[in-house]
């Protein structure tokens, strides 16, 4: 029995050596297992190669500066442009025709597609940029039909995007994030949204499709903005506010629906006094 086991092991080793670098299969404990492939081709036959600085994979057509770091497990697809000193973490996927500016840092398990990213940006783990927006309509047969989402996302310079934030690609205009804007974790940016420079958007906020924000807009946590709304520059929105119509004058706003913060405070105090007085009369 030992002799039979030894012969099987030698046979397996011979099979592995004979197939090295030439086969899409690997033999494990005598079982043939498919290796990862790319578009139906084995790694050796495909147009993808291993990047020396970090061990990630890249397509032959990608233009990558030699100083870029692509960590093992990351992949850069066709026709991408990666500038100098870019760092791409493990598990990240850079989709076709994506460009990334100088000295930008991208964390683990990020997915970038249909987008351009500026210089000196920081994109944290789990971010998704450039996927289809949420656009549907009801056709004549009463069926829910997807609207085409064919445009891109443009990220400015010095932008920071928190973990697990999602930014959808445009349908009738590009989705834009302005220079020096900072997004917290778990922020949702809908398709066609355009955000100005130096904005600060705190966690769990959501901006519905085609909204437009000016420069220096600040949003507290869990702020919601309705679709197609215009918000002027230097507007500050308190946490849990909900913007349902245009805000054309700079200042502080709060509440649902959002109103000038002083008015919201008066309403809140009056409501408390009203209920307090009602309880005292009972």
Short-list 88, 93, 85, 89, CA closest to 66: 85
Q: What's the pTM?
A: 0.82
Give Dmax (Cα) for the chain: 97
Say if 66 falls within a structural domain. no
Say if 165 falls within a structural domain. yes
257 shares a domain with 151: yes
Bridging pattern class, strands 81-82 and 48-50:
unpaired
Above 70 in pLDDT, residue 74? yes
- What pLDDT was estimated at residue 7? 54
Domain count, the chain: 2
Say if 121 falls within a structural domain. yes
Cis geometry, peptide bond prior to residue 257 (ω within 30 degrees of 0): yes
Above 80 in pLDDT, residue 38? no
- What pLDDT was estimated at residue 277? 75
- In the predicted model, what is the mean pLDDT of the chain? 87
* Residues belonging to the active site: 191
239 shares a domain with 140: yes
66 or 13: which carries more pLDDT confidence? 66
Above 50 in pLDDT, residue 28? no
- Please report, for the domain that includes residue 170, its CATH number: 2.160.10.10
Say if 77 falls within a structural domain. no
* Other beta carbons less than 10 A from residue 83's beta carbon: 19
121 shares a domain with 251: yes
Above 60 in pLDDT, residue 155? yes
What is the mean pLDDT of the segment spanning 26-30? Answer: 32
Residue pLDDT, tens place only, 92-129 = 999 999 999 999 999 999 999 999 999 999 999 999 99
C-alpha span between 136 and 144 (Å, rounded): 6
* Other beta carbons less than 10 A from residue 116's beta carbon: 19
Domain with 17 in it: 2-34
Which of 3-7, 83-87, 171-175, 199-203 is predicted with the least confidence, judged by mean pLDDT? 3-7
256 shares a domain with 142: yes
150 shares a domain with 239: yes
What is the mean pLDDT of the segment spanning 14-20? Answer: 39
C-alpha span between 225 and 244 (Å, rounded): 7
- What pLDDT was estimated at residue 32? 33
Say if 282 falls within a structural domain. no
27 shares a domain with 119: no
148: which strand partners?
A: none
- What pLDDT was estimated at residue 271? 85
Above 70 in pLDDT, residue 30? no
124 shares a domain with 28: no
- 68 Cβ neighbours under 8 A, 6+ residues apart: 51, 53, 82, 83, 84, 85, 86, 87, 88
Residue pLDDT, tens place only, 172-187 = 999 999 999 999 999 9
- What pLDDT was estimated at residue 11? 47
- What pLDDT was estimated at residue 272? 85
- What pLDDT was estimated at residue 190? 97
Instruction: Put residue 125 in one of left, alpha, beta given phi > 0 → left and psi -120 to 50 → alpha.
Output: beta
């Amino acid at each position: 029995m030992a002799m039979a086991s030894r012969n099987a092991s030698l046979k397996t080793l011979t099979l592995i050596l004979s197939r090295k670098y030439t086969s899409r299969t690997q033999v494990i404990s005598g079982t043939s297992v498919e290796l990862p492939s790319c578009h139906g081709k084995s790694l050796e036959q495909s147009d993808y190669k291993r990047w020396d600085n970090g061990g990630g994979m890249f397509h032959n057509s990608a233009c990558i500066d030699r100083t870029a770091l692509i960590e093992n497990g990351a992949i850069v697809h066709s026709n991408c442009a990666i500038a100098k000193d870019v760092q791409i973490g493990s598990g990240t996927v850079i989709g076709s025709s994506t460009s990334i500016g100088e000295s930008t840092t991208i964390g683990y398990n990020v997915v970038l597609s249909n987008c351009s990213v500026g210089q000196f940006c920081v994109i944290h783990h789990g971010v998704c940029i450039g996927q289809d927006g949420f656009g549907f309509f009801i056709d004549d047969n009463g069926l829910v039909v997807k609207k085409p989402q064919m445009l891109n996302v443009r990220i400015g310079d010095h932008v920071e995007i928190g973990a697990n934030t999602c930014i959808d690609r445009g349908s009738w205009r590009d989705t834009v994030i302005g220079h020096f804007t900072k997004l917290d974790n778990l922020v949702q940016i809908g398709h066609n949204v355009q955000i100005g420079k130096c904005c600060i958007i705190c966690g769990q906020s959501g901006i519905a499709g085609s909204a437009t924000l000016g420069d220096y807009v600040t949003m507290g946590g869990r702020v919601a903005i309705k679709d197609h709304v215009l918000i002027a520059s230097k507007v500050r929105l308190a946490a849990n506010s909900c913007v349902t119509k245009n805000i054309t004058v700079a200042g502080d706003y709060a509440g649902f629906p959002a109103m000038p913060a002083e008015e919201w405070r008066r309403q809140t105090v009056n409501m408390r006094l009203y209920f307090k007085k009602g309880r005292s009369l009972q």
